[in-house]
Every structure is written in structure tokens, then in C-alpha cells.
Structure 1
Amino acid sequence: MRKQQEETRGAHALRRHPTPKRMPNRIYGRIHGTTVRIGRLAASVLAIASTGTVAAEDAAPGNLDEISVTAIRSEDRALQPAHTLSEQDIERRLPTDFNEVFRAVMGVGIRTNSRGEAVLRLRGSEERQSQIFIDGAPISVPWDGRADLSLFPASFIRNVSIIKSAAPIEYGANAVLGVVDISTFERSDVFKLNARSEMGNHGSYLMEGEVFVPVGGVDLQLGVNHFSRDAISVADGAPIPFDPQTGDGRTNTDLESTSFFAAAALEREWGSFRISAMDIDADKGIAAAAHIDPAEGSPRFWRYPDWHMTQLSLAGDIALSETTDLRMNAWHQRFEQKIVSYDDITYSTAEEQQDDRDRTYGGRLVLSQDWQALTTRLVTSLQESTHTQFETDLIADTSTEPEQFRQRLISIGGEVDIPLSNTVKSSLSLAYDRASTPLTGGRPVQPAISNWAAGGALEWQASNELTITTTLGQRTRFPTMRELYGNALGRFLLNPDLKPETALVGDLTFAWTPAALPLELTLTPWFTRIDDTLSQRNVTIDGVSRRQRYNLEGSRGYGIEMGANWQASSTITLEANAFWQDLKADRPAGGTRPVLYQRPKGQLLLAANYSFANGGNIRAEMNHLGHAFDENEDGTVARLDGSTEFNVKFYMPVKVTTYGIWQIYGAVNNITDTVVPPQLGLPDAGRAFKLGIRLVSD
């Protein structure tokens, strides 16, 4: 099997030049010793997927074969091992949105916060400490530093690379505890059509279509997606005693969204360019924290009647010479939303409205030079975002004057790759990051903040079967504009003394692929040390309790990840992933140790995939989440019990046509209707099902 796998990879490695001693960075990535053209990796993955048993092994979630869009692995570059999801991995999960793509991935946590946003956490990090990129551009709204993954359709994704440690310097400031790098790129010489329609419980409905059209040397992609639901299912009403739902789903969790995607790619001998556009328009309600008695506390009763994001991305890769390469990215994000606040959970009387508008421009340049004995990269990135907001008292029909905020992020750095021997390679990086807020909405002006970032990676190919990689890095996360200046319709008390978080992150990864067995094993112990950890506290002024952000003394954490993937037979693949962590805040002098909230102690995933001879697949999962802690409204600590949920998903071909294969598919998530409590008053969905039909180009 291993020999067949290497031969398959070799057959799909597209070389533009005769193989030199050292290959230009823009043309080649290194995957377990095999060079593969970066710009066509998606096509290679699809081709590998068609080889049956080889596909199941290559697509394994524990696989360290990396497909990274932003930080490209060259022949001599040592990079953090990444957890990858190929197109086949994603297909097996049958996701509707990004939220479902990342569930049950080792070391990745997803929770829906009190603002109704499905946010991602890597290795117990806060959601703002990890960044998400699509085609090299960050998708977080800079005002808040977060992205709502439940509003991004999964159909646009071709592959995902997840780095759960200090990110390479190409990702710039704020990616302190890892990144998710998503590619939408597809390569084909023929017309392709994908479409699907599905229905589920609580009135959920999805329709989408996508075409790929090669025209005159230009590759075109076009896609559209529409999704709606009436509510999110409820497993048990006990954790949400103040939600009046009566079996019809969680109150105020309806959603309707329409998305468009378009891309055009041009590839020539001198390089390549690709431009992509994504537009998402949504109307959604968010669940109130229904463990809080409205007569005693102040849960949010909010809706987002208008949530609209448009993002344009441009990526270019130019060979200036045989040894010099220039990669560039540019992006523009337009974001608008309305937040309407109501007086109670009936949502009958609207009290206040906040209108937000964000405009973001950014870019990145990476100049790589091969000096024969070593390779260097110079990286610079710049992003400027302007946030404008005003508030309206809907009862009095009065509005405030618009407030405007602006933040600039600059990162300049360099990296050098130094091969130490035929089996050992190293990479060292140094960068300078700076954040400034020239517009503060009339609040006190904050001085610019800057810090140095550094990192190193060492990779040792100990044998043909064992690879050992160690990484160490320091990164800085600057407070977002919202953390510095936002009051969330009067809920937050500002803190002008906020400082940035500084994280020291390290890990050691053992990846073993025995030649005699169809097995992959990974083991990664890791640690984090964060100074000035940002947290929240309750502050009471004149009898009114308000939230306030502040800096803890610091925090530290350590943990271990273990993954196993076994191709038990030509039709069965078994997966086992385990994750354990211990995170603690520093104890201040003379005080008690603060609790770090909503960090599950551990995670265990067991999964089995059965592939049918006709191309169908059935997947069964068990996902266990360990206990965590959260904060009650009165500031006391509450324990969140662990949970175990079971999921079953399948797809089966029913007809072959000229354009592809028609399949029926379905999924039942959380079969046992288990309460999954990532935080107080906002449990995850209970039992949910969907059934659909789709056309997949072959």
C-alpha cells in the first residue's frame, strides 16, 4: 500500500522545470519527500481520492501531508505539522456550514457565544487568539476579531490546513495560538457541476449549486447557496429554564442566508493570479442566555435583521528568476450589521438598535530567495480597518451621532531556512508587529502598541517511518477595537488600560507511518505561556452590574494530542483522536487564582468509515467532550459537565449522468439527544437530522 501511495503521488506531481538541486519555492511544496505543485494540490487530492484504499489513508484526519495556502512548505523549510482536511474528509462530514466542518476535529473547539456567533478555539485558546484565512485573506471582522462560522457555507471549501501552535510569520500579528488556512481553489480541464438540496428538522432547507468552467486558459468558479431554518433543536429544557420553548426548538434561533462565490484563476509559465469574491447576506436571531432570570439579571434579547459581508481576495505568485519568487495577497472586506435589542424574550418590543459598518483593506508580500546553502523570506503585511457605528433609541426615535474607529496593523519580518543535514532542516523567523488606533470614536486616544515576534522549527526525518518536529514561537495579540472602545449597547464598562497578550508556544510532534502496516500515529505534547491574558469581570457601579475586560497576570497551559488512523481493510477506516489539556491562570499576589472559563479538559473522537464498492460511504462518530467551568451571573463559578454525542452520516450513489453522479445523503447528529454545554445557558443543538440529494462531478 505504501509503495502504491508513493507511486500515485508521483504520478500527479506536475513539474514545470527539470528537477534542480534546489527547487523554486513558488513551484513546489514538499509532502513527505514528494514534490507537488502547490497551485494544483486540490486536483491531486481529487485524483488520489479515486484510488480507493489509498484515498482513505491519504485523507485521514491524522495525516500530516499539508496543503497550506498562505505559508508554503518548500524543500528546506521546517514548518509546524498541520492537521489537514482534504476534500474527501470534508465530504464525509456532510457539512452545511463551516461550523460543521470543524466539529469533532482533534484539538479544535466550536462554541456559539452569547452574540450568536459560532467561534473556533484551538487547543483551548480564546476565539480571538486563533485566526481563520480563506485563500490567504483573514475573514475575522477586525472590529471584533471574530468570525461567525455558522454563516459561511461549507460548499466553497476544497481543503483545510490547521496549525495549532505559533503560526508562521506570513499570517501576521494576532495569530498567536494557531491558524486555520482554507483554500477554495479547484483545478480541472473540463466543465464541472455540483449541486445539492437538503431538508432537515425545524424547517431547515438548503439549496446550492456550483460550476467550474475553463475558458481560454482562465479557470472560472461560480457558486450560490441559500439556507434557512426555523430554530435550533433543544435536547433538554433544564439548562435553559427561562426559555419558553415548548418543543418547537430554541426561541429566536431562526436563520436565513444567501451566499455567492466567484473566482477566476490564470496560470502561466511566469506565475499565476487568482481573484475570488464571496458575498454573504443573512438575517438571524440569537438565543438568549436562558439560565438567567430576566427579573434578576440582564440576558441579551437580540436579533441581527441584517448581517452582510463581502470579501474580495487577490493572490499572485510570480517567478522573478529561477531562484527568486514573489508572492502577494490583497483583500478588501465590507461588513455591515444591525443589532436590535428587545425588552424581553417575546421579542415584541424593540428598544434599541446599533448599526455597524466596517471597511477593511489589507495586503501581504513575501519575497523568497534561494541562496543554494539556505533560503530566505522577507514578509510584510499591512491591514487597516475603519469601523463606523451609531445607536438608535427606537422607543424615543432618537439617534446618536456616528462614531468612527480605526485600527492599523503592520508586521515586518524575515525567515531563513537552514538545512543542517540530509535528514534535518530548520527555519528561524523574526518579526516586528505594531498596532495603532488613530480614530477612537471620541474615546481617549490609546498609544500605539508594538512587540517583537520570533519563532523556530526543527524537523528531523529520523527514518523512513518516523518524523520528529519541534517548534517554539512568541506571538502578540493586540486588543481589538471593540475590546478597547465598544460598550455593546451599554453592557460593557471600558478599560483604557488594556494591554496586549504575549504568548510563548511550543510543541513536539512524533509522526510514525510504519511501512509494514496501513497505520498512521501522531503524538504531540505542547505548552503555552501567555502574559497579560485578556479576561472579563463583573463591575458594579451605583448598583448596576456591567462587564469589563481586563488583563490577568498571565496564564499557562500544557497538554497532549494523540491521533491514530488505521486502514483496517480495503473498505474500513478507523480513526481515534484524543486531546487533554490543563490550563490555569496565574495567582496574583495575596489573591485567589482566577478561573479560565469554557476550556474543556479533554476531547475523544472515535470514528469508523465504511466505503462501498459503488462509491458510497457511511461514517459513525463518537465525540466526547470533557468538563469545563463557566461564570454565573453573580460571579460564582459553575461546573459544565462533560458530554458524549453520537453521529451517523452516509451518502450513496443512485444514478450516473453525463455531468456526474447523483447521490442521496443523510445525517443524524447527536442521536441520543445529549445536552452538550459549552457554556452556561447556551447548550449546543440537540438531535438533528437532514436528508438530501446532490450531483457530484466525477
Structure 2
Amino acid sequence: MKQFLAILLAISALQLTAQEDSIQRKIFKLGEITITETQNTSPLQSIDQKEIEQFSPDNAAQALNLLPGVTMSQSGGRNEALIFVRGYDLRRIPVFVDGLPVYIPYDGYIDLNRIQVGQLSKISVDKGFTSLLYGANTLGGAINLVSAKPSNNLELNAEAGSKISSEGVNAYSGSINIGTRRKKWFAAGTFQLQQQEFYNLPRSFTTFYRETDYKRDNSQFHNLQYSLKAGYTPRKGDEYVLSIKGIKANKGVPIYLGNNPNIRVRYWRYPRWEKNGIYFHSKTKLQNQLILKTRWFADGYENTLKSYDDSTYTSQTYNYAFTSTYDDKRMGGNIDLHLYSLAAHTLKAGMRIQYDHHKAFNKGETPRHIKDLTTSAALEDIWQINDGLKLISGIAFMSRKGLQADDYIAQSDSVVSFAMGHDKAWHLQTGIFYNLGNKQTLHASVARKTRFATMKDRYSYRIGRAIPNPKLKTENAINTEINYSDQNTSLQWSLSVFYNFIDNTIQRVDEVQDDLWQLQNTGKSHFRGGEVAIGWKANQFFSLGGSYAYLDQKNITNPDIKFVDIPAHQLQTYARLHWHEKFKTTAEVNYQSSRFSTSNGTYKAPQFTTINVMASYKILESLKIHLNVRNLTNELFYLTEGYPEAGRTYEIKLSYQLNR
């Protein structure tokens, strides 16, 4: 019996190794920015293509929410998915795709509901201690969505599905990925479509005049995402890749259904939401130990927002009705130089530049422009002290210069200039990494990071609800962390504790003047807590795991100001059963404690627990059917007070995969 078990475990280990090799071959390595490989593969910080497929998230926000210390929320007023990492939002822990920043120039956010995951090979979340080569504004770390590249002569993946609720069929989806990899070149194309007519509300929701049935009004969206990529590898160590990517979408914004009298019910729709760009990655082996990497981008973001009179969404006659257009442009890139094995040191130097131009206007009004230029220079050193011990240190200088900032004068339909500034900041960090052997690692780090205030932070009136603050100062933080990880074959677990101290915290302060609020540097804050993740693979048939994250956020200067949208406790557990090679099931339980929805602490989103079940059956060697149930218990839950989330939803998908 013992021999049989030993053989079974050995076979499982070989299968895992083969799967890991296959997964690694699909990762677009030029899109990664790493300090150490061990940090970037921790279950606390990354998920791969296999895990994405097993949990079947709809978009990047849901995929990121699988990681401990990562919280998904919703900007109810704009129907955008938000992500917080250890309390930091997307302005403080920005999103990158293949190492290039992805954000809206005006506010620094990106709607992660719009980014689908079918083309991703890996998602990495570096917390606190982050490569300085990412550039500016990585106050709390960085999120990097790494695309896939083909690893076979011919690859074809196609998927089609629909969602069904108690109110009928409510959504459709489809995707196709095709690629080829040859000796000196590769090419790939991805097209993904999502169409939602509505999402259903749980039956425990009490209908009333604003929402008269269980079909969430104005919750429809259409989302088309495409990517074309071609790469050339003239010799070993060199690679040049050109990509064209875009998202074309439209969406509704469900109205507020809560009790806060200071939140105005808004009848909004985005008939256009588009992001298109061209991207270039290169790697050139200058000498045996000297590597030059570059990344360049030029893209644009356009949207049209229409505010209507009422729930008919047909007229725009009231004074709060308008049609607003954004026409934003970004361009820039970075140059990194890697020098390996210099007297037990690896040196990395990088320079980054990005130009942001925000153009906005309401229909019939003079456009206003805001322009910023952000630059950075960084140097990192990895000192391999001995076989098991390395010291990593880095220093970087960041600069943001305001080039133009228009303030609109409605009475004369003209613009004048806001006050503009030139902010500078330094990033410093050091970390010690110790390999204990037997796939066990221990590391401790301290990092000083900063974030420049965004255009919207400084200049927005928030549709008459806020007061601009052009004098906002740069936030800075000291992030400290101790992490232990044990990555044995059958049992893997990681534990991390952190204490982050933030100064010049930029935070919303309500009722600054009458019912108006303002973003202010509210003083000093701390974010502290811990995370643990564990996974146990008993054999090739059964595995289970989970994660827990605790976060304590406090404004030390003014404890009455609360941090919003983030629970103190998050617990996720899962069990996965592979009945045989054709049939697999996964059950997931997610608990989140209550969270504040207003900074004065008056309104909260209550705690909740949701259960999701995913199953797949291999009909043929290349054909699978997937059956998923989201929110199995039909729980009425909120990520933001006044905006209920979807009730029980069934999903059926067919997927086809061909590799030759």
C-alpha cells in the first residue's frame, strides 16, 4: 500500500511539473517585471492561467479578488469595478498590462469590469516591496496582468456561454484565441465578447418605486475586447513584439437604492467607452550578461456619458442633465538595462516617461485640457550574499510636472488656468530574502513609496458636489513586511504580516462646506494586518485550500475620518474534486465583514457570505462543458451601500481547445 501511494504521489508530482512547464511557456516574459522569482510565484501574490480557468472569473476584478489582501468593490456612481490591496486603491497600486501602465489619465483608475481574462497567462500583485522599474505612483505596490503567447505550432481556443437567472437568460459571452509559434516568430489574435441585458436581484430584496422588480434597472452592458500580437526572435536572447489592443464597450449605471439623503439619484448611461492602443516590447542581448529591455505605448481613451432626466432615459431637459465627453491620450515608455553577475551583484537601471492629456467638455461647451508629464529613474541591486541569502536594494527619483490645467467658467463659456505645480519624490527600499531550503523562503522588507495626486484629485468639482484642491501634496508611505512561504509539492502555505505608515494621506472629507466634500491631505494613517494562504493537494483527485486577510486602517491625525469600501476581515475557502480526468468540480466560499461606505461612518455595507460552485466535464478530448452557479444561496449583499449585487446566477459554457 505504501509503495502504491509513493508511486501515486510521484506520478502526481510529474504531472504537476509538466503542467507548470506548459504554463510557464505560455507566459509572455517580456511583460513581467520582477525582483525575485520566489516573490512573484507566492500564492499570496499571483495566480496563473490554470487557476483562472478553474475559478472562471468574468473579468480582471473578479480574478484579482481570489488573492488574499485584495478586495473587490464597486464605484456605484459609475458602475466600475474597483480593487483595493491592503487598503490601497488603484491610484496607489496601479494596474499594468505586460509591464505597461493602464489607467484613465484624468483619475488614475481603470474599470476592471471591462478587462476580460481569456488572454491572460498570469496575474501578479506585488504588495509594498515592488520593483522600482514600474515607475511612479506605486505607493502600495503594483498589479501586473501578463498576457499569454502561443507555445505550439497551432493553438485554437474558443468559448461560448450564457447566464441564466430566475428572471430568464440575462447574459451571453464568446471568445476565440488563435496563435502560432515558429522557430523565429510567433503571432496571436484574441477576440472576446460579453453582452449583459441585466443582472437579477435576490428575492430577499424589497422592491419599491425606484426598483419595481428583480431585474436590476440600467445594468446592461456590451463589451468587446481584441488583441493582435506578433513577435520576432532573430536569435537566442533577443525578442521584439508589437501588439495592438482595444476595448469597445457601452454600459448603464444602476441607480442608488440606499438611504443616504446626500447621494443624488442619477440616471446615467455610457453609450461609448473605448480604449485603443499600440504597444511595443523588446529585449536585446548586448553582451553575455548585459540585457536591454524597452516597452513603449501610445493609446487613447474616449467615453461619452449621458445624464438623463428620469428612468425613461429619453430626455435631457433638467439642469442636472448633460452629455459629457472625454478624449484622453497617453504615450510613453521605459528603457531598462540589466547587468548580471557583476561580483555577485545583479544591477537593474531603468528610465520611464509618460505624457498624459485629458480633454473634456459637455455638449455645447468649450473643451478644457489638463496635461501632465511624469518621469522616473531607478536603480536596483540584487546582492547574492551566499547560496541562500540575498539583499535587494533600490533607489528611484520621480517627477510630475503640470503642463496645463484649465478651469471652466460657465457664465462666459471660457477657461482660465488653475494653479499648477511640479512635484518631486524619492523611492527607497531594501529587503532581505533567505532561502531556507526545501522550497521554504523567508523575507523582510521596508520600502518608502509615494503617489502624486491625480488630475481629478486636484481639479474636479465632481459635478458640483466637491471643492477642487490644486494644492494637494504628494502622499508618501513606509511599507514594512515579513513573509514566510513553504512551497512543498503537496502542502503549500504562506504567511505575511505588514505595517504600512502613510503621511499626507489624500482622503475624502465630507461636509467641508454645507454638503460639499473635498479631497484633503488629512495627515497620518496606518494600514496594518496579516494574510495567510494555504493549499493542500492530497492527490491528483482532491485538493482544498483557502486564505484569510485582516486589515486595520486608521487615520491617526483624525480618527473620526473612516476609510471606505474595505472590510477588516476576508475569508475564502475552496475544495476541488477531480472525480476522474473528465469531470472536475470546485466549491468556493467567500466571507467579508462589513465596510464603511461614507467617511463619516454613518453608512455601511453589511457583512456577507457567498458560495460559488464550478464544474466541468470533458465531452471530447478538445471539447468541455462548464456549469457554474454564482451566489448559490441567493444572498442579498452589497459591496457599496445602496447598490445590491447579483443574486443566484447559472452559467453554462462550451469550450474548445486545439494544440498541435
Q: TM-score scaled to structure 1, two decimals? A: 0.85
Separation (CA, whole Å) in 2 of partners of 1:580 and 1:293: 28
Q: In 2, distance between residues paired with 1:457 and 1:568?
A: 34
1:451 and 2:425 are equivalent in the alignment: yes
Specify the alignment match of 1:161 in structure 2. 124
1:238 deviation in Å? 5.0
Distance 2:148 2:225 in 1: 17
* Cα distance in 2 for residues equivalent to 1:173 and 1:12: 36
Q: Give the Cα separation in 2 of the matches to 1:489 and 1:626.
A: 32
> Which residue matches 1:314?
280
The structure-2 alpha-carbon separation of the partners of 1:304 and 1:534, relative to structure 1 and needing over 3 Å to count, comes to same
Which residue does the alignment assign to 2:391?
426
Q: Contact 1:70–1:171 (CA<8 Å) still a contact in 2?
A: no
Displacement of 1:43: 2.1
Work out whether residues 564 and 576 of structure 1, in 8 Å CA contact, stay in contact via their aligned partners in 2. yes
Q: CA deviation at 1:293?
A: 6.9
Aligned to 1:109: 71
Query: What residue in structure 2 maps to residue 59 of structure 1?
Result: none
From 558, 577, 580, the equivalent of 1:613 is 580
Q: Structure 1 residues 325 and 463 mapped into 2: Cα distance closer, same or farther (>3 Å)?
A: same
* C-alpha contact (below 8 Å) 1:240/1:289 kept by paired residues: no
The answer to whether the Cα contact below 8 Å between 2:478 and 2:502 also exists between their aligned partners in 1 is yes
How many percent of aligned residue pairs carry the same amino acid? 20
Rounded to whole Å, the distance in 2 between the matches of 1:41 and 1:238 is: 43
How far, CA to CA, are the matches of 1:111 and 1:318 in structure 2?
41
Amino acid at match of 2:264: S
Tell me, which stretches of 5 or more residues in structure 1 are unaligned? 14-35, 46-65, 393-398
Deviations 1:30-55 (A, max 9, x none): xxxxxx9xxx963278xxxxxxxxxx
Q: After superposition, what is the alpha-carbon deviation per residue over 1:136-176, rounded to whole angstroms, capped at 9, x for unaligned?
A: 11111121111111111211111111212232101111121
Report the 3-state secondary structure (helix = DSSP H, G, I; strand = E; otherwise coil) of the residue aligned with 1:492. coil
Equivalent positions of 1:222-301 (< 5 A) are 222-235=189-202, 243-248=210-215, 250-267=216-233, 268-292=235-259, 297-301=263-267
Tell me the alpha carbon deviations over residues 508-551 of structure 1, each in whole angstroms, 9 at most, x when there is no partner: 11112457xx211211011111111111123465x6x3332112
- What does 1:377-388 correspond to in 2, within 5 Å? 377-388=348-359
User: Residue 176 in 1 paired to residue 127 in 2?
Assistant: no
1:97 to 59, 64, 75: 59
Indicate the residue corresponding to 2:593 in structure 1: 626
**Conservation of the 8 A alpha-carbon contact between 2:207 and 2:214:** no
CA contact (8 A) 1:41 1:67 kept: no
- In the alignment, which residue of structure 2 is the partner of 1:407? 372
| Residue 127 (structure 1) shift | 2.9
Choose the corresponding residue for 2:635, options 674, 681, 690.
674
CA contact (8 A) 1:430 1:452 kept: yes
Q: Following TM superposition, by how much is the alpha carbon of 1:579 offset from its aligned partner in structure 2, in angstroms?
A: 0.8
AA partner of residue 204 (structure 1): A
Number of aligned residue pairs? 631
The offset of 1:340, in angstroms, is 1.0
Matched residues in 1 for 2:588 and 2:40: separation? Answer: 30
Matched, 1:326 2:292: yes
Q: 1:570 Cα deviation (Å)?
A: 2.0
Q: Deviations over 1:385-420 (max 9, x none)?
A: 10111112xxxxxx2111111111111110111112
The corresponding residue for 1:642 is 607
* Structure with greater strand share of residues: 2
Distance in 2 between the 1:439 and 1:269 partners? 45
- State the shift of 1:375 in Å: 1.6
1:78 and 1:425 in contact (8 A); partners too = no
Instruction: Find the counterpart in structure 2 of residue 395 from structure 1.
Output: none
Query: Of 535, 560, 563, which aligns to 1:565?
Result: 535
Partner residue, 1:16: none
Distance 2:237 2:539 in 1: 44
- Alignment-mate amino acid for residue 129 of structure 1: R
**Does the 8 Å contact 1:509/1:522 carry over to 2?**
yes
Distance between the aligned counterparts of 1:645 and 1:377, measured in 2?
44
Q: Does 1:690 align with 2:660?
A: no
Report the CA distance shift for 1:366/1:546 in structure 2 as closer, same or farther (over 3 A).
Answer: same
**Does structure 1 conserve the Cα–Cα contact (< 8 Å) formed by 2:480 and 2:499?**
yes
CA-based RMSD:
2.6
Question: 1:616: how far off?
Answer: 3.5
Identify which of 480, 501, 524 aligns with 2:454. Answer: 480
Distance 1:558 1:227, change over 3 A: same
Q: Distance in 1 between matches of 2:644 and 2:442?
A: 39
Deviation at 1:69, TM superposition (A): 3.4
Shift of 1:445: 2.5
Change over 3 Å in CA distance of 1:364–1:89 after alignment to 2: same
Name whichever of 469-478 and 227-236 sits farther off: 227-236
Structure 1: distance between partners of 2:516 and 2:503: 25
Equivalent-residue separation in structure 1 for 2:69 and 2:86 (angstroms)? 5
Superposed, 1:74-153 pairs within 5 Å as 83-113=45-75, 114-153=77-116
Q: Structure 2: which 5+ residue stretches go unaligned?
A: 1-5, 407-415
- Output the CA distance in 2 between the equivalents of 1:622 and 1:12: 26
Distance in structure 1 (CA, Å) of the matches to 2:582 and 2:47: 19
Matched to 1:467, the amino acid is T
For 1:212 and 1:586, the matched residues in 2 are separated by: 53
Corresponding residue of 2:553: 583
Change (3 A) 1:489 1:165: same
| 1:70 CA displacement | 3.2
Q: Distance in 2 between matches of 1:506 and 1:356?
A: 39
State how far apart, in whole Å, the 2-side matches of 1:80 and 1:613 are: 28
What are the Cα deviations for residues 542-567 of structure 1, in whole angstroms up to 9, with x where unaligned? x6x33321121121021111111101
Q: Are residue 188 (structure 1) and residue 151 (structure 2) matched? A: yes
- Contact between 1:70 and 1:170, CA under 8 Å: does it hold in 2? no
Per-residue deviation at 1:270? 4.4
Structure 1 residues 74 and 540: CA distance shift in structure 2, 3 A: closer
